[in-house]
Amino acid sequence: MKKNIAEFIGTFTLVFGGCGSALLAAGFPDVGIGLTGVSIAFGLTVLGIAYGLGHVSGAHLNPAVTLGLWAGGRFEGKDILPYIASQVLGATAAAGVLYVIVTGNGSDIGSFAANGYGEHSPGNYNMIAAIAAEFVLTFLFLIIIMGSTDERAPSGFAGIAIGLTLTLIHLVSIPVTNTSVNPARSISQAVFVGDWALSQLWLFIVIPIAGAMVAGFVYKLIFAKAE
């Protein structure tokens, strides 16, 4: 139960900090943080949670990460569903709080930082571009996660590597899809937007999970320490 609560709180923090920065601070007149600031915000949330709660649950904060680690032999199958449920609930709770804040000045939620492609992509990138970006970036994210948490890696630096990698991922892909690489983050925003966000949600569930699981298998097959 401690692990599940940690995943709930951690994923809540990720969505509240990352999506919150996009919704509240990115475009603020004259002093907004822009896409670079949003990218840094996502990285900082992971960095903080990795060191704050990583020792409790591993700080997955992401169903794709959980399934990728399972595919790589780093996580037990019996814990998959409780982790994913905790992550989705934490993300959705954060989106609910953001909804209250964003609408607190009479504003409409707009796209609510939901993930999308085609006309709902920030740069109008098509579905193929979205699939390529989400698969490749989630694959690379899992390789970094597995490598930095490997027992052979320098101790104590995994959170920094993972946080900086997530920042880089956002710097690359916010214009393409608003950056998912995390089904829980995508589900949480789509629930409040409805309509197009729900109809496109399949991509941001299926593709990140596929990329993560392929990365898990690849790391286990090629890079894992020989028994």
pLDDT of residue 226: 72
pLDDT of 107: 86
Phi, psi of 28 (to 5 degrees): -60, 130
| CA 100/CA 179 separation, integer angstroms | 23
Q: Is residue 132 part of a domain?
A: yes
The total number of structural domains in the chain stands at 1
Q: Looking at the domain assignment, is residue 227 inside a domain?
A: no
Residues of the chain with pLDDT under 50: none
Residue 226 lies in a domain: no
In a domain, 82, yes or no: yes
Q: What is the pLDDT of residue 227?
A: 63
Q: Is residue 107 part of a domain?
A: yes
CA distance 16 to 91: 8
- Has residue 225 been placed in a domain? no
Does 176 reside within a domain? yes
The token pair that represents 108 in the structure block:
């409409």
* Enclosing domain of residue 133: 2-220
Cα–Cα distance list, 161 to 7, 32, 111, 183 (Å): 20, 26, 30, 21
- Domain with residue 58: its CATH number is 1.20.1080.10
Q: Is the pTM of this model over 0.85?
A: yes
For residue 110, the model assigns a pLDDT of: 87
Q: Is residue 9 part of a domain?
A: yes
Amino acid in position 75: F
**Alpha-carbon distance values, 227 to 195, 215, 223 (Å):** 50, 20, 12
